[in-house]
Amino acid sequence: MSQQGLDEVLIEGLEVDATIGVYDWEQDIQQKLIIDLTLAWDCQRAGQSDSIDDALDYAAVSQAVERWIQAKPRALIETVAEGIAELLFKDFGVNEVQVKVSKPGAVPTANNVAVKIQRTRVDGPFG
């Protein structure tokens, strides 16, 4: 995925309960979303310094994503994916992201439904 380098930080299978859906009844319940993130990040500095200050802190990212999703109800999983990409650009200095948002309970006859987007920050060095 990464254009700027080969390194990536991954967060896989982050489960977040959310108010999400296009139908009225979905605004009264919580449904599980599963978030998978691939984040372009130069890991070399952190690997050499052994300092969290040089790393993209996957724990902090996970917490921020969960908070953003739970901050208010939304209709579409596309909106969740775009919002997460914006959050990562704005608050974590990431320049390139792949965001997959799964809603596994949405279609009873399917194992999973999801959207996956790839975005590059427009005001970043590669945008």
Ligand X SMILES: Nc1nc2c(c(=O)[nH]1)N=C([C@H](O)[C@@H](O)CO)CN2
Q: Contact with ligand X (CB under 6 A): which of 1, 10, 22, 71?
A: 22
Task: Check 72, 100, 103, 116 and give the catalytic one.
Answer: 103
H/E element, 120: strand 114-120
18-51 burial: b if 16+ Cβ within 10 Å, else e: bbbbeeeebeeeeeebbbbbbbbbbeeebeeeee
* 18, 77, 87, 99: residue in contact with ligand X (rule CB under 6 A): 77
Tell which positions 97-116 bind ligand X, by CB under 6 A.
Answer: 103, 106
Between strands 96-102 and 8-18, the pairing is unpaired
Measured from the CB atom, the residue of 6 and 22 that comes closer to ligand X is 22
Select 44 or 79, whichever has its Cβ closest to ligand X.
79
Q: Which is nearer to ligand X, 34 or 106 (CB)?
A: 106
Percent of the chain as helix, strand, coil, to the nearest 5: 35, 30, 35
CA angle 73, 70, 57 (to 5 degrees): 145
Q: Find the part of the chain contacting ligand X (CB under 6 A) among 4-12, 54-62, 71-79, 90-98.
A: 71-79
Please select the residue that binds ligand X; options are 55, 76, 114, 117, rule is CB under 6 A. Answer: 76
| Interior angle at CA 70, CA 65 and CA 104, nearest 5 | 80
Active site (annotated) includes residue 90: no
Q: Which residues bind ligand X (CB under 6 A)?
A: 21-23, 26, 76-78, 103, 106
Return the active site residues.
103
